[in-house]
C-alpha cells in the first residue's frame, strides 16, 4: 500500500486511540497506513516512547508519517520518539497540532488522495483556532 502518508494516533487511553482509529477506518477507508498506541504496560493511562516508535514503524511510508496526539505526555513522548528515529526518517515525521479524533479523520482524508506530509499536516491543523 502505499504511496500515501501514514497516520499514527497516540492517546493516553488505548480505548480512545483505538476508537479514533476505528473512525478513520470506517469513515475514510483503508488506503492510508494507520496505527495507534496508548496506555502503559501496566494497563493504566499513559504513553510510551517505544510504542510510539513501533507504531511509526508499522505505518512507515516514504511520504512520511503524521502523528495525532491528545494531551501533554503524548506530545512530548511523540517528539522524543521522532528524535530517536534513524536520521533519514526524522525529517519525515511530524506531530500535528490538532484535536486527536477530528485531526485523524481530516489528516487521513487528505492523505488518502496522495497528498504530501506538509499538506496532510496543514489540513489537520486547519481545525485549530489560529
Partner 1 sequence: MTDAALTPAHAAVLMTHDVGLHARPSVKLTKLAKTFQASIALAQSEDGPWIDAKSIVKVMAMKAPKDTTLHFRASGADAEEALKALVALVERDFDEGH
70 or 110: CB nearest partner 1: 110
Our CA dihedral for 17, 81, 117, 87, rounded to 10 degrees, sits at: -160
28 or 95: CB nearest partner 1: 28
Q: Give the whole-angstrom CA distance, residue 103 versus residue 124.
A: 5
**x/- string (CB under 8 A) for partner 1, residues 47-66?**
--------------------
From 36-44, 54-62, 79-87, 121-129, span contacting partner 1 (CB under 8 A):
121-129
Q: Looking at 11, 51, 61, 112, which residue binds partner 1 (CB under 8 A)?
A: 112
54-74: b or e for each residue (b if 16 or more CB lie within 10 Å)?
Answer: ebbeebbbebbbbbbbbeebb
Residue 127 makes contact with partner 1 by CB under 8 A: yes
Q: Which of residues 89-108 bind partner 1 (CB under 8 A)?
A: 105-106
What does the block give as the cell for 58? 508499522
Q: What is the DSSP letter of 29?
A: -
80 with 48: CB under 8 angstroms? no
Chain positions contacting partner 1, by CB under 8 A: 27-29, 105-106, 109-110, 112-114, 123, 126-127
Amino acid at each position: 500500500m502505499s504511496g500515501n502518508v501514514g497516520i499514527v494516533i497516540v492517546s493516553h487511553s488505548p480505548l480512545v486511540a483505538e476508537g479514533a482509529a476505528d473512525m478513520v477506518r470506517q469513515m475514510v477507508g483503508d488506503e492510508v497506513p494507520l496505527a495507534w498506541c496508548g496506555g502503559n504496560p501496566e494497563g493504566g493511562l499513559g504513553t510510551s516512547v517505544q510504542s510510539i516508535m513501533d507504531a511509526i514503524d508499522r505505518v512507515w511510508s516514504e511520504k512520511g508519517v503524521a502523528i495525532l496526539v491528545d494531551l501533554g505526555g503524548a506530545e512530548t513522548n511523540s517528539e522524543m520518539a521522532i528524535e530517536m528515529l534513524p536520521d533519514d526518517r526524522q525529517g519525515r515525521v511530524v506531530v500535528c497540532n490538532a484535536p486527536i479524533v477530528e485531526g485523524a479523520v481530516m489528516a487521513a482524508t487528505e492523505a488518502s488522495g496522495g497528498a504530501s506530509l506538509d499538506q496532510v499536516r496543514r489540513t489537520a491543523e486547519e481545525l485549530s483556532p489560529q
